[in-house]
Each structure stands twice: as C-alpha cells, then as structure tokens.
Structure 1
Amino acid sequence: MQKDSGDPDVTRVREAAAGADWATVRGVLEARPESEDRTELLWAVGDTAGVERWIAGVIEAEPDSALPLLVSGVRHISWGWEARTGARAKDVSREQFDVFHARLRTAERQLYEAAEREPQWTSPWYGLQITGRGLQVGQVTARRRFEATVRRDPHHMGAHQQQLQQVCEKWSGSHEEMHAFARASAFGAPGGTPLGQLVAIAHIEEWLSLDAGPDAAYMRRPEVAASLRQAADHSYRHPDFVRRGAWLQVFNTFAMAFSLAGDRAAARECFQAAEGRVTEFPWYYINGSDPAAAYRKQRSSAGR
C-alpha cells in the first residue's frame, strides 16, 4: 500500500526541502507549471519542518523572484496551523492563537507579493483562501479570493475544496449552503472533472458534524446514496475522466463515502481503481493518526 498520490516528485521535493536544497526544490516546482496544478508539491515543501529557517535567505538572495515568496507563504500557513493544532477553538490557548495569527499574517503578506509579481499564478490565491479562513476575513472576502483562484483555473480542485470548507456549518456557513455549493460546482463543470468529488466531501462533512448513531443513519439515507451515484457518473465514471492531478484523491473520497453509505459494490469499484494507493484526505477523518489503517479497514469491509 502506497501513501499519498504516488507522484515521485512529491517525495523528491520533500526530501530536498528537508535538506535545505533550494536548487532542487526550485527545479521540481518550476518543472510543474501552474497550469498543471503544483499545489501538492508546494504543500509537500510547506509541511516540511525547518523550511522557514532557510527560505528567508533565499528571498534575500533572489529579491525579484516570486517563487521563494510563494514557498515561504505556504510554509507559514502550515507552520501557523502547527502552532494552533487541530484542537477545538475553546481548547487553544491565547498564546497559541497569537502565534497562529502572526504566522498567517506573514503568509498573507508574502502571498500577496507573489501574486503581484506573477499575476497569472493560481497558487498564491489558493494560499490566501486558507489564510483567510484562519484569520476570519469573512464570507465576502473569502468568496473574492476563491473567485480570484478559479478565474485563473476554473476547475482547480483545491480551491473548490477550500471554498466548500468556508461555507461549512463549522466555519459559519450551513449544511444547505455547503451542499448547494458542492452540487453547483460539480454539475456546473464539464463531465469528467474531479469536481464531482465535492458532493462526496459535503456528505462526509455532514456525517462528521453528527453524533455517533445519527451519523451512520444520515449516510445510509437513500437520497445520499443516490446523490453519490449521480456525482460519480458525472466524475470518474464519465468517459472524459482522466487520471491526472487529483485523480487518486477522487477515488479515495468516493471509496470512503460509498463505504459509509453501505454501497459495497460502488466502494469496491473505487478501491480497485485506487490500486492500493491511499491519500491522507479523507481517511484522516476516521483515523487521524493512521489514515492508511482506516483505508484498509473499509477496503476489507467492501470485500477488496
């Protein structure tokens, strides 16, 4: 079983970041144009401890370059959430919030500067969607940042996922708004895009919001299974679906959603298509410390 997308460049860029090897980091990132969505590569760098220590020197050495600012901005987002932790807001100290907000403000400044230098890039605006939620910029500003991202890449999966989070009940939205956004985005896009996954994510989000018992009952509703099948038909079952970009996450997300919905045949189809490769999202919702264990358990239940 292989964890994450299976893209060898992810491992390569992560190792280079850990070794403070900017030449390799830059080479890997520049070889993946924005038009092909380098979000996963940027996040592999951003999630690597210690990047914040050496990237400042790169910014100094390359004062006219947008890429070091972009990398630093993404690192400060991840570093900020490390300080906040994944705890509920009531369990996060004032000191933790202060560090969290300071790092996100640094990220915002650097991402805006990168966006000014490279107006066609999508990644800075995607990053600003995340900082905006952490800094609670409000729904109007958040929507503008989402629109800025999708103007540059209309079917950017990450941007749509961030906006879906923005309209979730837990982020001052509602279940109704979340489902409406997911369906409008999925079915407003051509058949075969990864955006059908948004419908599955929205059902998983509502499942997460419920207590044990009602959560399972919700996922077993016939209308939930029907909407999952409809989204699957418009997404990975569509003849125009291509296995590139976020394709592996699409199968993992539908595998989890169909498993929770009790549709073993549809879940098996997704597990088979994923070829034993597990993405952290969405399995960490079931087992945060070992997403692969959650994947294995559900795959076994589905008869794979």
Structure 2
Amino acid sequence: MFGLFRKSSRPDTDASQADLELRAVRDRALAGDWAAARDLIGATGRDWELRGRRLSVLGVAAGQSPQWLDAWEAAAPGDPTVAILRADALMDQAGRARGYASASNTSEEQFREFDRLSTLAARQSQRAVDLNPDDPYPWVTRLASMLADGHRQHGEFHAAMTESVKRDPYNFETHLMAVTFLCQKWYGSHELMFEAAREPAAAAPAGSSVAMLPLLAHFEYALREYGFDTRKESLSAKANYFHRPEVIGEIEACAAKWRGAGEPRLIGRGITLRHWLALANFLAGHDREGTRALVAQIGPYLGSTATYGYFWMRQSEGFRAVANWAG
C-alpha cells in the first residue's frame, strides 16, 4: 500500500502528491481534454477535502496554462467549476506575482500586482458562490484573496469564514486560511493564530484533518520568534522550542486525534499532514520510529510542503533531513 522513500531518489515535487488519478487527469486537461477534469471533480461529490485539494491543483494548472479552461468555459459558460478554477488560477498568478519573500523584501510593484489579481480572484469567487451556493470552496478562495489587503478586510474575512463553515464546519482549507490570515506575519497575532488552530482541532470529530492545525501554528510561531529571515542559522533555536514538553504533548495529542478513526488516507491532505507530523517529530527529537513509518507512507511525494521552507532554504533539503534522521 505504501511506497518506501529511497534517500538517494529525487523527491517528487508534483503538487498532486500521491493522488495519481488527479495527476493523470491534470495532464490530460493540459493536453486539451478538459472533460476529464470536469468528470473528476463531478465524481468527487461532497468529499469537500478531496474536492478542494483537487480544485486547487487544477487551478494552479489553469493559472499557468489556461487554454483548456478557456475551451471548457466556451462549451459550458455557466459551469460553477469553471468559475472556481478561474478564481484559483488568478490566485496562483497573484502569488507568483508577489513572490514568496518577506514583506520587507517585496517591491511596491509586486504588492500592486498581487492586489490587482487578488481582486479579480475575489470577483470570480463570488461568481462561483452565485452559481453553486452550497459549495464551501469558493469561500476558501475568497479568504485567500484577502491576504492582499487584510488590514481593511478583517470584518469581511470573518463573514466569509462564517459562510464557509456553514457549509462544512471542519473544512480543512477554510481553517487553514484562518490560521494563515491570523498569524503574526500576516494580519493577526500568536494568540489569534493558536486560537484559530486549536478551537476547530478540539471541536472536530476524531479522524478530522483539522486536528493537525496546531502543528502549523507551532511552525509559524517558531518561524517568527526564532529567525524569521534566516533558516539554517536559526534551526537549532527553533528545534529547542519544539523540545518543550508542552509542545511535544500537543503534537502527540493532535496526531492521536487525527488517527482516531483509523489510518488516514494518503489523498486529500493525507500526505501534507504526514509531512507536518514527521517534521514536528524531527524538530522535537521525538518518536524516530514513528517518523520512519511516516516517511515510508509518504514515499517520494513531497509536492509543495511550505513548512519545510520555514526551517531550510529548500523544501527538498528539509524533507531529506527528516528522512535521514528517521533512518
């Protein structure tokens, strides 16, 4: 069932990670078969986490090569999935326009383009809501668009959160956006960030992916407090934070609840959350044997796991360090 990661192999950075069906459909869509993408999303039904992840990957593909989405829209101009993918494509373009440096290392021109494209994405998100009011995912993209101007949009952010959780109370992408928006490096504080992570994690049923959100909050806290503009030089100080007994205890509790309904699947957010747990264990110097099992489950599938970039300059470098430590 699970493939063993070979340390000598190159990590697989495809955004689809272990969802090989999504990968194949994305490639077919890029080759012109947009109906394959339509059918995949349709077949996912109301599995909101899996659907959201698949829409996100397809949206990035549309942002980088939109011809197949143009053909889909020409054939079905009122399709709500097209509107969602348009919004996600615009957010992908906005992110690339801004770049991934800290605010102090981002130019005014980059910020302006980030704001322009995010505004367009917000309009497409609203169109998707109008076309399919039951879907929580357009609200997720709307939340993402507010990162461009969050100081003025705190009220709108909480209103959009309310709309999304009405449709899916423990929607992972929604609560992930809350942790992101409310962290100190964006528009909140450590206190607001931990609250946004811990409240849904505590309330969600066993097996829910949101049970793992406090790990992200700890990564964000360590990044901000122990070397925001450095990586390798500050790794020791960040790791010392993870050695605190209360941090280790929360990591263990989150993992136990996430696994409380059985071994979590690999698709959806399964690979990303295994990376989070493996990274947290590495930083804490805790549960090497369990981390070895996680690395085996992950296989080569790195995808884009941004949290490695909080501690190393390259995600692949962090993945290899964790895998080597696990043995």
TM-score for the superposition, normalised by structure 2: 0.83
Aligned residue number for residue 295 of structure 1: 319
Structure 1 residues 155-304: aligned runs within 5 Å: 155-209=170-224, 210-211=226-227, 212=234, 213-236=236-259, 238-240=260-262, 242-243=264-265, 245-265=268-288, 266-281=290-305, 282-287=307-312, 289=314, 291-303=315-327
Aligned residue number for residue 108 of structure 2: 94
Q: Secondary structure in 1 aligned to 2:205?
A: coil
| Stretch of structure 1 that moved more, 90-99 or 106-115 | 90-99
Structure 1 residues 100-111: aligned runs within 5 Å: 100-111=114-125
Contact kept? 1:126, 1:158, Cα under 8 Å? yes
Contact kept? 1:16, 1:24, Cα under 8 Å? yes
| Stretch of structure 1 that moved more, 70-79 or 153-162 | 153-162
What's the CA shift for 1:139? Answer: 2.3
Aligned residue number for residue 32 of structure 1: 44
Contact kept? 2:29, 2:68, Cα under 8 Å? no
Contact kept? 1:9, 1:41, Cα under 8 Å? no
What's the CA shift for 1:99? Answer: 2.0
Evaluate the alpha carbon distance shift between residue 51 and residue 17 of structure 1 in structure 2; reply closer, same or farther with a 3 A threshold: farther
Tell me, yes or no, if structure 1 residue 142 matches structure 2 residue 157: yes
Aligned residue number for residue 77 of structure 2: 63
**RMSD between aligned alpha carbons?**
2.3
Evaluate the alpha carbon distance shift between residue 41 and residue 50 of structure 1 in structure 2; reply closer, same or farther with a 3 A threshold: same
What's the CA shift for 1:220? Answer: 1.4
Name the aligned partner's letter for residue 162 of structure 1. Answer: M
- The unaligned stretches of length 5 or more in structure 1 are none
Aligned residue number for residue 128 of structure 1: 142
| Stretch of structure 1 that moved more, 13-22 or 269-278 | 269-278
Q: Secondary structure in 2 aligned to 1:171?
A: coil
What's the CA shift for 1:93? Answer: 2.4
Evaluate the alpha carbon distance shift between residue 118 and residue 218 of structure 1 in structure 2; reply closer, same or farther with a 3 A threshold: same
Contact kept? 2:72, 2:82, Cα under 8 Å? yes
Whole-angstrom distance in 2 between the partners of 1:50 and 1:242? 31
Name the aligned partner's letter for residue 310 of structure 2. Answer: Y
What's the CA shift for 1:56? Answer: 4.3
Contact kept? 1:45, 1:51, Cα under 8 Å? no
Whole-angstrom distance in 1 between the partners of 2:255 and 2:64? 40
What's the CA shift for 1:15? Answer: 1.3
Residue 12 (structure 1) aligned to one of 24, 28, 31? 24
Name the aligned partner's letter for residue 252 of structure 1. Answer: H
Contact kept? 1:34, 1:123, Cα under 8 Å? no
Contact kept? 1:13, 1:44, Cα under 8 Å? no
Q: Secondary structure in 1 aligned to 2:101?
A: coil
**CA deviation string 1:188-236 (max 9, x = no partner):** 1112211221011111111111221432221111111111112112222
Whole-angstrom distance in 1 between the partners of 2:263 and 2:195? 23
Aligned residue number for residue 231 of structure 2: none
Evaluate the alpha carbon distance shift between residue 276 and residue 84 of structure 1 in structure 2; reply closer, same or farther with a 3 A threshold: closer
Whole-angstrom distance in 1 between the partners of 2:304 and 2:176? 15
Tell me, yes or no, if structure 1 residue 44 matches structure 2 residue 65: no
Higher relative contact order (CA 8 A, sep 6+): 2
Contact kept? 1:35, 1:153, Cα under 8 Å? no
Whole-angstrom distance in 2 between the partners of 1:228 and 1:8? 29
- The unaligned stretches of length 5 or more in structure 2 are 6-10, 228-233
Q: Percent identity?
A: 25
**CA deviation string 1:258-280 (max 9, x = no partner):** 11111033433433443554342
